[in-house]
Structure 1
Amino acid sequence: MSKRPQPTVTDRIVNWFNPVSGLKRMQARQVQAYYEAAKPDRTRKFRRDTGGPNVQTQQGAVAIRNQARHLEQNHDIARGILRTLMTNIVGPKGIGIEPQPRTKDGKIHKEYAAALLEAWRDWQTKPDVTGQYHWARIQRMLVKTWLRDGEAFVQLLSGPVPLLDHGTKIPFSLEIFEPDMVPYSLNDTRLGIRQGIELNAWGKPRAYWVHKQHPTDGIVMLSSNNTKPVPASRILHIASTDRIGQIRGVSEFASVITRLEDIKDYEESERVAAKISAMLTAYVKRGNPEMLDPDTLPRDSEGNIAPREISMQPGTIVDTLEVGEEIGLIDSKRPNPNLITFRQGQLKALAAGVGATYSSVARDYNGTFSAQRQELIEQWSNYATLTDEFVGNIIQPIWEAFVRAAALSGVVPVPKGLKEGSADDALFIGQSMPWIDPLKEANGWATLVRAGFASETEVMRKRGVNPLDVLDQIQKFRNDAKDRDLVFDSDAAWKVVSENIYSDSSDED
């Protein structure tokens, strides 16, 4: 917003003769001044975007998706960004699930939870229809596809399915596929199909029209009947959307593709220049042309002036120069000393656009502990937001469908006395914020726990582990150690005894 406009000479004259007109004049000028950003001029480009959200995606989503895929395959920074985001969203082991079914009195039904967890562990080995991927890898592939392409799809298949062997105790499998399988070009107002998705009057998906084969694998010829409708109840769709009412997603790289390509081209130019600079090129600089005698220049058999050859090796002394001649070297001023500074600035802007930390994108960890921790804390909320979106759109619906299939198949039936609607309740455990300095972090958490401001369970959750698993591991370790007459410093009982022994011995001294 600009400053309040000051009255001009013309304004004062109009006010003198007609105050009403003068007031209207000033009000109009003031309204205009408030929205100077809405006026284009010769020094600022003015973008007019009046298209709806689905018009924009129809025009550019596929092109952006193809560029993002090309960058992932050919640009190390783009590939590193995807890996950084993927690692912080799902991690190496994927999103953890802790069943939380409850009895009518509100307590967790331990037997049913244990049975679900056992069946879930068996299912994780071969959860997809191809049998090629385990559960954690499927999560990583879906996250990478979602961020790079803008969206990803999963089909839920339960019970008997023609030609499908589920391969696990629970008859439940996943079919994951890329956004290419749902054609953007399929639009039919009569059927309510928009960009390959059939919608009802309220805009809720009823069915997804999916290609029977991948449209770009070059094996089959596409035709009008190459797609089939799949009920929306069997499809999970996660998409990166920017506007309300947007149906399909757009790549997270949409706003930074130009910068990525510029960085790639600039670095390549600098590398080529540095490579050429490393190849020593010399020339002989001669004096005044009037001092040169053409008759003394070397000539070939045909009488033409022969090129001058000077052998150069390490330690060579050149003593064949004529009067007024000297040897010069071509210097390309490479490597460019400003390359690092420029690259750092571009990567900081790039990291802000994709929602990753600069340190992780640039692999630059030269900051202080406080600076790196502050960067991680501020950025971790973005990772947690993406994790929550992935859990809500993919993980939780898959878990609910799994519990349903387990019950209907009779492998893990729902027990009596269970609280209605709590059979598929679960705690979804995402990645925890890593510790930059483990000693400082551990001391801080220990202080909070002793003061009563935090619980041991919370600390374990922050570290990304299941408290019940930790207790089982500790109990087993303590029992094994006791059977072998071993006592470790981590045993609280031994710690109390040892402190008393040392204090008694000090008193005697």
Structure 2
Amino acid sequence: MKLLQTIGSAFDRVVSVTDPVKAVQRAQARRVFAIYEAAKPTKQRQKQKANQSPSTLVGTSATALRAHARFLERNHDLSRGALRTLVNNVVGPNGIGIEPQPRRKDGTIHKEYAAALREARRDWQRCPEVTHRHSDAQMQRLVAKTWLRDGEAFTQTLMGRVPGLDHGTKVPFSLEMFEPDMVPLDYDDPGKFIRQGMEFNAWGRCRAYWVYKSDPREQLSWLNSTSALKRISADNVLHLAQMDRIGQARGISEFASVITRGEDLKEYEESERIAAKVAASMTAYVKRLASTETGYTGEGLEKDENGHVKPRDLYMEPGMIIDDLVAGEEIGMINSNRPNPNLIGWRAGQLRAFAAGIGTSYSSLSRDYNGTYSAQRQELVEQWVNYSVLADDFAAAFVQPAYDQFVIAAHLSGVVPIPLDVKPGTENDCLLVGQSMPWINPMHEAAAWEKLVQAGFASEVEVIRKRGANPNDVLEQIAAFRDSAKEKNLAFSSNAATKQTTVSVSAVPTELQQEAADNAQGKNDKTAD
């Protein structure tokens, strides 16, 4: 190797004299080879040669990953907890809210139309989907869980009169949820530009989905053919997919990169639990030494017909004394080293890696909240960015498109017609209200927001939304409460119309007056000094 390096260096010097440009190119090439060492396979690191297209990778792996992720959700507490944590922080208990903000032609918000849309949507949120089994928040959580676990979720929008369907709300608009198994991954027809159950145009835009008429997992295998499929226009399908690469058609499970670690954690913890259980059942044993060493003959013990000592039943209990041992016998204790003292540290490291891969926080996953206030807040702030990104993806692919069609259905049905003075194109403008980052120390957080509002760097509306509430609902609640309090001649410190009350000196007891005078005199004396 040294000989080759010497020859190469000599050759480089010759080239630098005869052709300097070529010498520079050789030097640059050598630096490139030195930089990209990761591309060279070694005995310790095998080269990954697979470089299929994103759709090919998804087509060969998505079904297996989806089934494995569902298995972990059913049978692994940590996986189930991680999925629940993601859904609760992305969607939350009330779902991603919508605040209508249609505009007039002068740019101001059309309050009357916005109020009518809010009222109609409040009625629709009671049973927004075809089965009437889920509210709007429940439906959002179910769709988000399917999206994160399976990699994608589908929803069909149904508007107006549909045979056999009762919308159940004033606005004739409903959603039909279905799992990704209903759109076959193995259905391809290049002649019709169909790839993995999706029909595309020449630019790669989806124009239709091919969906099973009934669940293929509940039918005989011979029904899983093209005759069992129906074509649904992409305009009527909300496709929420977890995308990793450009050009990817179908989604991949969020658990794809942590499935093996989760499975290892599950199996290892089960092994440790079984070992600890076995260790708790094993207490002691009677050791019989060789007769040549101690003269042990088993004399005095009951024997069988072959002259062997029969086993004795020794029942252990607190404070017991074993006094029936014979010569040559002693009690031996079993030490199993279980539970494993290194389990907690090893498990914590694995949980941190699992949490990083799945996109949730370690504290939420492990329920370990030890640490300083600064450390916990830093973890919460950094993790909340991931939750916000997922919430934005969910709202853009599911919540906003569903609301757009809701507004159209409300107009066409005459329930909430679009006023003539609404600026065209703004009738579906809205503010999406997601989950707010929780407060670790409410006293500090409230004081900080109060100072920001007083200084003019934030608004009351922003503070209300940061707490996860709707400003309009808060104003209505405050107004109704104060009207009720006024009727009963009650006043509270939260009443903005109540001015600061000044207590007269005569109303203060004499003892307090004297104490206040003494304090004032003391301050004057210090000032004089």
- What's the TM-score once normalised by structure 2's chain length? 0.90
- In structure 1, the partner of 2:523 is none
Partners of 1:434 and 1:17 in 2: how far apart? 69
Quote the offset at 1:221 in angstroms. Answer: 4.9
Code of the residue aligned with 1:410 in structure 2: it is: G
Deviations 1:448-495 (A, max 9, x none): 11111111111111111111221221122122111111111222443x
Is 1:475–2:479 an aligned residue pair? yes
The farther-off stretch of 480-489 and 292-301 is 292-301
> Unaligned 5+ residue runs, structure 1?
none
Q: Which amino acid aligns with 2:284?
A: A
Structure 2 counterpart of 1:144: 145
- Matched with 1:303 is 306
116-125 vs 467-476, which deviates more? 467-476
Q: Which structure 2 residues correspond to residues 302-451 of structure 1 after superposition, within 5 A?
A: 302-311=305-314, 312-451=316-455
> 1:12 and 1:401, CA in 2 relative to 1: closer, same or farther beyond 3 A?
closer
Whether 1:284 and 2:274 are equivalent positions in the alignment is no
Structure 1 residue 320 displacement after superposition = 2.5
**1:212 to partner: Cα distance:** 0.5
Amino acid at match of 1:9: T
Distance 1:501 1:389 in 2: 59
Question: Between the two proteins, what is the percent identity of the paired residues?
Answer: 54
| Cα deviation, residue 181, structure 1 | 0.3
Aligned pair partner of 1:251 in 229, 253, 258: 253
In 2 relative to 1, CA 15–229 (structure 1 residues): closer, same or farther, beyond 3 Å? closer
1:310–1:158 Cα change, 3 Å? closer
Displacement of 1:285 in angstroms is 2.2
| CA shift in 2, pair 1:7/1:457, >3 Å | farther
Rounded Cα–Cα distance in structure 2 between residues aligned with 1:31 and 1:301: 83
Whichever residue aligns with residue 222 of structure 1, its letter is L
Partner residue in 2 for 1:175: 176
> CA offset at residue 299 of structure 1?
5.6
Residues in 2 aligned to 1:164 and 1:325: alpha-carbon distance in whole angstroms = 82
Distance 1:324 1:438, change over 3 A: same
What CA distance in whole angstroms lies between the structure 2 residues aligned with 1:444 and 1:297? 84
Instruction: Tell me, yes or no, if the aligned pair for 2:110 and 2:422 is still in contact at 8 Å.
Output: yes
Give structure 2 stretches of 5+ with no counterpart: 518-529
1:57 matches 2:58 = yes
AA partner of residue 237 (structure 1): H
Task: Give the distance between the partners of 1:501 and 1:105, measured in 2 at CA.
Answer: 52
Contact 1:128–1:175, Cα closer than 8 Å, also in 2: yes
Residue of structure 2 equivalent to 1:206: 207
- Distance in 1 between the 2:485 and 2:352 partners? 51
The amino acid that maps onto 2:495 is: D
Structure 1 position 125 matched with structure 2 position 126:
yes
Whole-Å Cα distance in 1 between the matches of residues 41 and 471 of structure 2? 60
CA distance in 2, matches of 1:97, 1:419: 19
2:412 match: secondary structure: helix
What is the CA deviation profile of residues 43-93 of structure 1, one whole-angstrom value per residue up to 9, with x for unaligned ones?
112212210000100110000000000000001111111111111111101
Determine the C-alpha separation between the residues in 2 that align with 1:155 and 1:38. Answer: 45
1:13 deviation in Å?
A: 4.1
TM-score by length of 1: 0.94
Match in the other structure for 1:116? 117
Structural mapping, 1:186-265, within 5 Å: 186-218=187-219, 221-224=222-225, 225-265=227-267
Mapped pair 1:67 → 2:65: no
Distance 1:113 1:13 in 2: 81
Contact 1:7 1:26 in 2 (8 A): no
Structure 1 residues 408 and 6: CA distance shift in structure 2, 3 A: farther
- Higher deviation after alignment, 286-295 or 421-430: 286-295
Alpha-carbon contact 1:205-1:232 (below 8 Å) kept: yes
Q: Aligned-residue CA RMSD in angstroms?
A: 2.4
What's the offset of the Cα at 1:383? Answer: 0.6
User: CA separation in 2, counterparts of 1:366 and 1:272?
Assistant: 28
Change (3 A) 1:425 1:328: same
Q: Which residue of 2 aligns with 1:10?
A: 7
Q: Tell me, what secondary structure is at the counterpart of 1:190?
A: helix
Cα deviation for residue 447 of structure 1 reads 1.1
Kindly indicate whether the alpha-carbon contact (under 8 Å) linking 1:286 and 1:324 is maintained by their aligned counterparts in 2: yes
Per-residue Cα deviation, 1:110-152 (whole angstroms, up to 9, x for no partner): 1111111111111111111111111111100000000000000
CA distance 1:498–1:195, shift in 2 (3 Å)? same
What count of residue pairs does the alignment treat as equivalent?
504
Q: Is the 8 A contact 2:298 2:309 kept in 1?
A: no
Aligned-partner Cα distance in 1 for 2:137–2:380: 24
